[in-house]
Structure 1
């Protein structure tokens, strides 16, 4: 099975702190709205219902807020594979998985891309600490039967 290996280690837990040999290049890019899915797939067939839902899901995703025209173009190519997959051509499954991984489709993909939803930070701050109570206090007294 093709893939990119294990997800990266948390930088605070690394033994070495090597700096990047090359600095990051910052460019200005204007986000673009999601284009409309063409009426028919390139094969001339109508899009499967699952692919239409999938395309709509990407429009609603917070990940797509910064997508540029090239991102949407690549995702449209992925929609063709998604449509073929849902039409029964399962040979496209691996390529589809690799393509949507680049956009952060699953939690593992987002971890690899170092993307974290803000709700996770908020949930961590709201979580109550249970370290102040022992397991016996949480369970209550044990009774022999």
Structure 2
């Protein structure tokens, strides 16, 4: 199974702080709304028939529309994801030969927690939860564990 290696280490934990070899290029991009899944015909046994998107693929497409990740998708992002939707449809129709390509393509969009870690994407609510979490000190944790115990005479 192909992969891209382990998730990158948190920069604050690195021993070396080498700078990136190339500076980050910042461009302006305009996010666009998700297009509808298109209607088209495919050839089946020499005849053209309307392509019907599997229900699971329609749900998958809606999931991407509602994902916070898609808020910044550009026209090219949606185009790539639309091509991926065709692979998704083939997969859910039983063509499992496309599974590896499908997995690689959705990984580029941050579909799983591992993918998002590799892409250095985190959801804001996770940061807020970390800030709210308090770690008890060793002393308070142990004293609360043994609070009701007494030495026997």
Structure 2, gaps ≥5 residues long:
44-49
Q: Residue 3 of structure 2 aligns with which residue? A: 3
Q: Residue 109 of structure 2 aligns with which residue? A: 103
Between Structure 1 and Structure 2, how many residues are aligned? 143
Q: Residue 141 of structure 2 aligns with which residue? A: 134
- How far has the Cα of 1:141 moved from its partner? 4.9
Whole-Å Cα distance in 1 between the matches of residues 104 and 52 of structure 2? Answer: 24
Whole-Å Cα distance in 2 between the matches of residues 86 and 141 of structure 1? Answer: 58
Q: Residue 36 of structure 1 aligns with which residue? A: 36
- How far has the Cα of 1:128 moved from its partner? 2.8
Counterpart contact for 2:64–2:70, Cα < 8 Å: yes
Whole-Å Cα distance in 2 between the matches of residues 139 and 46 of structure 1? Answer: 64
- How far has the Cα of 1:139 moved from its partner? 6.6
CA RMSD of aligned residues (A): 2.0
Which aligned pairs between 1:54-133 and structure 2 lie closer than 5 A? Answer: 54-131=60-137, 133=140
- How far has the Cα of 1:20 moved from its partner? 1.2
Counterpart contact for 2:39–2:51, Cα < 8 Å: no
Whole-Å Cα distance in 2 between the matches of residues 121 and 139 of structure 1? Answer: 33
Structure showing the higher strand proportion among its residues: 2
Whole-Å Cα distance in 1 between the matches of residues 111 and 41 of structure 2? Answer: 22
Counterpart contact for 1:7–1:108, Cα < 8 Å: yes
Counterpart contact for 1:40–1:47, Cα < 8 Å: no
Q: Which consecutive segments of 4 or more residues in structure 1 shift more than 3 A?
A: 40-45, 138-142
Structure 1, gaps ≥5 residues long:
none
Whole-Å Cα distance in 2 between the matches of residues 41 and 52 of structure 1? Answer: 17
